[in-house]
Chains A and B, each alone.
Chain A
Amino acid sequence: GAGVSQSPRYKVAKRGQDVALRCDPISGHVSLFWYQQALGQGPEFLTYFQNEAQLDKSGLPSDRFFAERPEGSVSTLKIQRTQQEDSAVYLCASSVVHEKLFFGSGTQLSVL
C-alpha cells in the first residue's frame, strides 16, 4: 500500500481481555517501530524490529505486552489481560534503515 496501515482503527476491550493490534508497514521497509501515545502525551517508544528480528524491546511496559514480526513484514502487538492504564493510541511506524520514519494513523485502544 501507499502508507503504513493499522487495524483496527478503534478497539474497545473489557479489562482482562486480550487484544491484538496489526500493522502493515510500507513494502520494503526493513525497520518497524511501535509507539504508545497516552492522552495529552507524546508518543513513547515500545519496541523495534529490523526485518523479523526484535532488536529492542526496552520500552514494553510489562510482560503482558508482546510484539512479533515473523516474516519481516506485518507486525502484531499483543496485550494480554488488558488494564485501564493500557488505554492509549498505539502507533506503528516503518522506514528504510536510518531513513525517514513513516507513521500509521494508529489504533485507539480503550479499556473499560
Chain B
Amino acid sequence: AQSVTQLGSHVSVSEGALVLLRCNYSSSVPPYLFWYVQYPNQGLQLLLKYTTGATLVKGINGIEAEFKKSETSFHLTKPSAHMSDAAEYFCAVSFFGGATNKLIFGTGTLLAVQP
C-alpha cells in the first residue's frame, strides 16, 4: 500500500539556519509528490510539486525539494529560515492513472523558528 512518512513531527531551527524537512514515500508505481504548508486557521497551500522531468523542484523564497527515486525521498530544504516560515508542513503523494489531486498525506512536521 502507498504511504508517506515524515520524519520528525516537530523541528526547531534558529532564524537564518538551514531548514530540512524529511519525506519518504512507499509506492510500487511512480508518484507525483507535493509539499503543502498550513498556517494556523488557514487552508493548506501548495509549495512545490514534482510530476515528471527535472528532479530538483524550486519554489519561492529559496525553497527546494529533490525527488530521489533510489531513496524514495522528496526532502524539502530552505537555506535560511525566517520567522514567517513557522507553520506545519505536509508532504503528499498521488499516482499516475488516478485523479492527480487524490492525495495521500504524511502526518506533518511542525516547524518552529527561534529568534
The chain A residues found within 8 Å of chain B, CB to CB, are 3-4, 31, 33, 35, 40-45, 48, 55-56, 91, 93, 95, 98, 100-106
Contacts and interface: CB of A to CB of B under 8 A. Distances in A.
B101 A95 contact: yes
Interface stretch (B39-47, B54-62, B68-76, B78-86): B39-47
B82 to A, nearest CB: 23
B48 to A, nearest CB: 11
17 contacts: A33-B101, A35-B103, A42-B90, A43-B105, A45-B102, A45-B103, A48-B99, A48-B101, A56-B102, A91-B43, A98-B99, A101-B46, A103-B45, A104-B43, A105-B42, A105-B43, A106-B43
A33 B43 contact: no
B101 A41 contact: no
A31 B42 CA distance: 20
Nearest to A37: B105
B99 A44 contact: no
B102 A42 contact: no
B99 A56 contact: yes
Contact of A45 (B44, B104, B106, B107): B104
Contacts of B114: none
* Leading 9 A-B pairs by shortest Cβ distance: A42-B105, A103-B43, A103-B44, A101-B101, A98-B100, A105-B43, A43-B105, A42-B107, A104-B43
